[in-house]
Structure 1
């Protein structure tokens, strides 16, 4: 089976991730601020600085061929928060993004249901696919 992970990120330059957590009532999987230091590179040993501020929720990797099933896990957390997400975008000049990460071993089902597409359009979110063989 393929492995699939879904991420939903709010990305910008100047906001406090803690404020996003409070507004959405959801604890992020990861959050960081612009210029925060971290260890990067292939061996996670090179000192680097973040180029953006980010608030992110994500699923764990799941062995599945059904990408939409995993995407619904994130969608179900935020589907009733469109107005808050739009307010966050307007107030903090942020971008929302769904990232679908797939490690292929089988041919996954790559479909996104109409209600998820409508929601993404409503909050002006992008979709990104990261695929690996």
Structure 2
């Protein structure tokens, strides 16, 4: 099990103003992490960030982490879109993979996660680290 890649998937909302508590209240989900503007090292990228993450998990496929996110956020698409439009937020889904060279995971996105991302107008990013 320890040799399996570690995969983490995050749903992130960022914005220039501090609406972190409003996001938490509207979604009724506690974030895994929040970050305020002053915590960013590079001023040009500074924003307020609300993030929910699956945390690093040993897995052979990205699908497992995307399903975990969908269980929490499916059905909240209208709420997310309202937050994005009301507070000028940017939604993102980010997949982070840590794997040994030659033992990467299956990087497959289900129709459901693609549909969810499209409905909330989120970009999907991948950070892949091979050792």
TM-score between both structures, scaled by the size of structure 1: 0.86
1:71 maps onto 2:74 in alignment: no
Q: State how 1:38-53 maps to structure 2 within 5 Å.
A: 51-53=46-48
* Count of aligned positions: 124
Q: Hey, what does 2:104 align to over in structure 1?
A: 107
* 3-state DSSP of counterpart to 1:131: strand
Q: Which runs of 5+ in 2 are unaligned?
A: none
Tell me by how many angstroms 1:76 deviates: 1.3
Instruction: Name the structure where strand makes up a greater proportion of residues.
Output: 1
Which of the numbers 12, 17, 33 marks the counterpart of 2:15? 12
- Structure 1: state its 5+ residue gaps: 41-47
- Higher share of residues assigned helix: 2
Structure 1 runs of 4+ off > 4 angstroms?
A: none
CA contact (8 A) 1:24 1:81 kept: yes
Q: Cα deviation per residue 1:31-55 (whole Å; 9 max; x = unaligned)?
A: 12223x46x6xxxxxxx76700111
Q: Distance in 2 between matches of 1:62 and 1:128?
A: 18
- Answer whether contact 2:19 2:87 (CA < 8 A) is retained: no
Determine helix, strand or coil for the equivalent of 2:82: helix
Over the aligned positions, Cα root-mean-square deviation in angstroms equals 1.6
Superposed CA offset, 1:66-98 (max 9, x none): 111111111211011000000001101111101
